[in-house]
Amino acid sequence: MTLPELSIRRHVLALMLSLVLVLFGLVAYERMGVDQFPDIDFPVVSVTTTLPGGNPGVVDSSVTNVIETQVNSVPGIDRIESSSSPGVSVVTIQFDLSKDVDVAFNEVQSKVNQVLDQLPEDAEPPVVGKVETGASPVMWLSLQGDRTQQQLNRYANTVIKKQLETINGVGRVRLGGRRDRTIRVNLDLDRMAALDVTVPEVVNAFDTEHVQFPGGFLVSERSESLLKLDMEYHDPDELAKMVVASREGGNIRLSDFAEVEDGLEDYRELARYRGESTVGLGVVKIAGANTVAITDEVKRRLDEEIVPQLPAGMKLTVSSDDSLYIMEMIHALEEHVVLGTLLAAIVVLLFLKSLRSTAIIAVAIPVSLLGAIAVMYFADYTFNNLTLLALLLLVGVVVDDAIVVLENIYRHREQLEPHPIRAAIAGTNQVVFAVLAATLTLVAIFAPVIFMGGIIGRFFESFAVVVTFGVLVSWFVSMTLTPMLCSRFLSVEPRHNRLWHLFENAFQALERLYRGLLGAALGHRWKVIALVAAMVGGSTWFFADVGKTFTPEEDQGAFMIILRAPLGSNIDYTDEKLREVESILAARDDVYGYFAAIGLGDQGQVNQGLAFVRLVDRAERERSQQAIVAEVNRELREIPGVRAFARKQPMIGGQRGDPLQFAVRGNDLDEVGRLSGELQERLEAIDGMGRLDRELELDLPQVDVELDRGRAAQLGISAADVAMAVNTLAGGLDVGRYNDVPSDGERYDVRLKAADGELATPADLRRIYVRGSGGEPVRLDTVADFREILGPAVITRVDLQYGAKFYGDPDLPLAEAAQQVEEAAAKTLPAGYSVTLMGEAEEFEKTAGYMGFAFLMAIALLYMVLSSQFNSFLQPFIIMVAQPLAMIGGVIALWVTGNTLNIFSMIGLLLLLGLVAKNSILLVDLTNQARAEGKGIDEALREACPIRLRPVLMTSLTVILALLPAALGLGAGADTNGPLAIAVIGGMITATLLTLVVVPAVYSLLENGLQRWQSHYPTSE
């Protein structure tokens, strides 16, 4: 007994099997998380080493180079990048996506441990850590109010931050514009000189007078008391009275030459929201956590716990929220699924002209979708752009099998067997082979996607799994539930109303037209094939001319602005320019809010600023995000004395979102700087390239303190004495810790530094005194000269060579822009220097190879499946004739609509290989059955193809209409879903129209030729 027959005769069993899928799917639907993209774990490990006082050159040669050279032998490395900034070395190792990040971490840690003795003695131990590439904040909050910056910082850090960090899925909370409370000791150099006080004496005073020690216990016969030895000062006014030195019987107190201030740490960071000073709180999720669930819980706590407890005058607002776009995108895709379902049902109703038939087909959609959702849940997937796009596609695909089964049962009931059960069994058994073959073709198409490498493979793995299991579930439903429902509820009325006759007459006229076309095609087979070959050849022009990018431009309602002031600019200058950027944003009615900051990140350079911009809702603005960014960029170019760029937000957190990224590499840093400058000028002169942002900057103003060691030795002054005095007064030195009594649970730094304005020019360094061996004060310029020079702010390396990184957002398609970069580099760079594509540009080059592999493997698997199903080496070629016909329509549709060939449209073209093969299978399978009954080849084609016309048109239209809302660009996420939908719709249109003519012509030509061959050269049995 076959599965369809079992389901028809045991109808309760068939119903329960489907209800199990529905039950699991409903439970999974309630429990599944929501995110923008599938969770991708990028194996990246970083090594951070601190070398106090080291300039970028020293850090690069003595730390970065040593670590890079050592870890380079770890297997599986894809790229090594590093940066050497003042006092800090960061080496980032990016591994192949197949590498286990925990294994990579242990291997890097082992390699670093082997070179610890080669690092400078004063370098701190390297810190090896796994880099969370998705660790950028998913939500920013802004704390503002009529409070001092210190009070806002303290409340954000000690209250709000701690409440948010307890939320499940939150990894940490970053503070933007944070300046911690600091007890500042602002030294007056002239007063110090007058009182004969030097820096070491002040430091020594803190070491001996501001201390805490464990006191032990006083133990009596029956009790004990803790002995408290707290010798620290707990009041800034009392600290000012601390005795630093004694001169001629009198005490010199700290207040005699310094101001003790209860203030903030050094002014090297600031943040504003909508132009007002703020403290930003960035909520960073842990890897794999649910973005929407986290942001929902943050909002709940804000409403119920945090905001009601805010002190009067403070306000806390959400300045950025990634979940808004995610939910808008998810809701849009859900609407597309519902709308696609309705449109598919309308198609079925028009062709079958029966509400009962439509209801039977429509039942297959939710059962198949919920079955796919259950698989998603057990595979630990989320509802995201890719999985919902797969479900949208399934709406048009899962009904195909049910349509074929029901249409054949209906034909049997109407023409061959009026008994409902016998007709259902016979009709289903006749198409079991075709339905199984069609299902396995889609499975064969998506099997290679699961094994694809690179980011595209990780992105579309979930898409492929959902589609694969979705079509398997739809096959199961079409073999169980659909025939069972047809046997009990399908009605074939002998009499019909006028509307029924109207549609039936239209379809019969269409069939008569098709019979005429089919006869003409069979009579001119070579002409048909030549015409189609010419069409396929001509379509190569469209393929060459269509734009090629990694991902389509997407309107997320948010973008970022990167600002670079000239090297040597202080925070006040950068702030002035950042305010000009903010004024541009404030004047726009399509900008909802903007969070601007200086000094964010580990390096915190004060000549760089950022602004995160959030647009008003899509329905409230006339222009797209891309148009707004272009307008803002034009206005940013008008700001003098600064380079500012508006860019889209990155797809992968923690990286820049510029589509064009590359690096100039070489072994000489100065030459890399010179050549990269020439290359930048050449590239920016190309139309459509736009402005490029170059990271390498080698002209940071520096003051080199050159010690006269002979003179210093004569006076008994060491290099350490000079370095300590200059470092403390110019850079600042944390000499102790401080807490209030009663304590708020926090301890704060006590920072020793020259007062603001004391050291502004190189000449001011002459006011510093150090003490000689004889006890006399020696002015610094007695033993040192001060030379103004230029040097690098940060030294970057790419794959162990010095590198100048470039970032750009060209108007040109990405593939063309990357080609222009390589051509310009070939004309500019000498031997030993090269250009390396990075980011999307690099991944796009890899994607071409991955997609080529996927197409070839899919075609090979498809041929194997079809050969096995039809027991023929020849007939799979007949079926696969439809595939180039689909490629024609897909590429032309992209070209006509102005879309690009990107990872989404490429997957759409791959999907077409399986979708169009289903139609060919229907034609070839019924033709084979007719030939098995004794009919000739052309006679079988003339009988079978018109019978299959309606199922072919129905299945094609359901796919087309299911994807139509996405192709029309309705709702959020349409920028990425649209290219896939357009490629599939264009391919389905051309393939459907041409397949009905071309496949019969090729079938007739090849099978008649084979028949003649066998008649001339008969095979022995």
Q: How far is CA 292 from CA 139, 145, 321, in A?
A: 10, 28, 10
Amino acid type, 134: G
The answer to whether residue 215 scores a pLDDT higher than 90 is no
**pLDDT per position as a tens digit, 121-156:** 878 899 998 876 656 788 889 998 888 888 888 888
pLDDT class of 603 with cuts at 50, 70, 90 = low
Tokens of 825: 């580099």
User: Distance of CA 269 to CAs 176, 215, 226, 276, 315, Å?
Assistant: 8, 40, 42, 15, 21
Residue in 321, 364, 280, 543 with CA at minimum distance from that of residue 955: 364
**508 Cβ partners below 8 Å, 6+ apart?**
none
Quick one: which H or E segment has residue 84?
Answer: strand 77-85
CATH number for the segment(s) 497-545+872-1020: 1.20.1640.10
- pTM metric for this prediction: 0.77
User: Is 964:980 a contact under the CB 8 Å cutoff?
Assistant: no
**660-666 and 834-838 as β-strands: parallel, antiparallel, unpaired?**
antiparallel
Most confident listed range (285-289, 636-640, 925-929): 636-640
- Asked whether the beta carbons of 267 and 571 are under 8 A apart, the reply is yes
For range 766-793, the mean pLDDT? 87
**Predicted local confidence at residue 810, as pLDDT:** 86
| Res 774: pLDDT | 80
Domain coordinates of the chain in residue numbers?
Answer: 1-31+353-495, 42-131, 181-267+700-791, 497-545+872-1020, 558-647
pLDDT band, very low/low/confident/very high, at 1021 (cuts 50, 70, 90): very low
The dihedral over CA atoms of 187, 192, 195, 201, expressed in degrees to the nearest 10, equals 80
DSSP-derived 3-state class of residue 132? coil
- pLDDT at residue 551 in the model: 76
Give the Cα-Cα-Cα angle 789, 792, 798 (nearest 5 degrees).
Answer: 160
pLDDT value at 119 more than 80: yes
How far is residue 654's CA from residue 82's CA, in Å, rounded to a whole number? 15
Q: Residue by residue, what is the 3-state secondary structure of 870-890?
A: HCCCCHHHHHCCHHHHHHHHH
* φ and ψ at residue 549, rounded to 5 degrees: -135, 170
User: Residue 985 and residue 999: Cα distance in Å, rounded?
Assistant: 20
Residue 617 carries which side chain, given as an amino acid letter? Answer: D
Q: Is 1019 strand, coil or helix? A: coil
860 vs 880: CA distance, rounded Å: 11
Question: Can 1-31+353-495 and 181-267+700-791 be said to share one CATH topology?
Answer: no
What letter would DSSP give residue 659?
S
Label residue 574 by pLDDT band (50, 70, 90): very high
Q: Higher-confidence residue: 820 or 840?
A: 820
Bridge partners (DSSP) listed for residue 225: 218
Q: Does domain 42-131 have CATH number 3.30.70.1430?
A: yes
Q: At how many degrees (to 10) do helices 937-967 and 498-523 cross?
A: 120
Closest CA to 532 of 918, 999, 949, 924: 999
Fold of the domain built from segment(s) 558-647: Alpha-Beta Plaits (3.30.70)
Q: Encoding tokens for residue 52?
A: 């106090």
Mean pLDDT, to the nearest integer, of 857-868?
A: 86
Q: Is the pLDDT of residue 436 over 50?
A: yes
595 has pLDDT over 70? yes
Q: For position 66, what pLDDT does the model report?
A: 93
User: Cβ atoms within 10 A of the Cβ of 873, count?
Assistant: 10
| Residue 210 binned pLDDT confidence (cut-offs 50, 70, 90) | very high
- Which span out of 664-668, 858-862, 954-958 was modeled with the highest average pLDDT? 664-668
Q: pLDDT-derived band of residue 267, with 50, 70 and 90 as boundaries?
A: confident
pLDDT of res. 106: 92
Pair type for strands 777-779 and 784-791: unpaired
pLDDT digits (tens, 9 = 90+) for 710-755: 888 888 888 888 988 998 898 888 899 999 888 777 889 999 999 9
Cα 10 to Cα 23: distance, rounded to the nearest angstrom = 20
Number of Cβ within 10 Å of residue 780's Cβ equals: 21
Q: Please provide the CATH number assigned to the domain covering 1-31+353-495.
A: 1.20.1640.10
For residues 646 and 561, the answer to whether their CB atoms sit within 8 Å is yes
Average confidence (pLDDT) over 919-930: 83
Are 382 and 465 contacting, i.e. CB atoms less than 8 angstroms apart?
Answer: no
What does CATH list as the number for 181-267+700-791? 3.30.2090.10
Which of 813, 816, 790, 792 shows the shortest CA–CA distance to 804? 792
Alpha-carbon span 910 to 984, nearest angstrom = 9
Q: How many CA atoms lie within 13 A of 706 on its CB side?
A: 6
Judged by DSSP in three states, 226 sits in strand
- The answer, yes or no, to whether residue 288 has pLDDT greater than 70, is no
pLDDT exceeds 50 at position 910: yes
Q: Which is nearest to 878 in space by CA: 867, 887, 886, 889?
A: 867
CA distance 751 to 183: 6
Which residue type does 438 have?
A: A
Query: Would you say residue 651 has pLDDT above 80?
Result: no
The torsion region of residue 939 among left (phi > 0), alpha (psi -120 to 50) and beta comes to alpha
What's the mean pLDDT when you consider all of the chain? 85
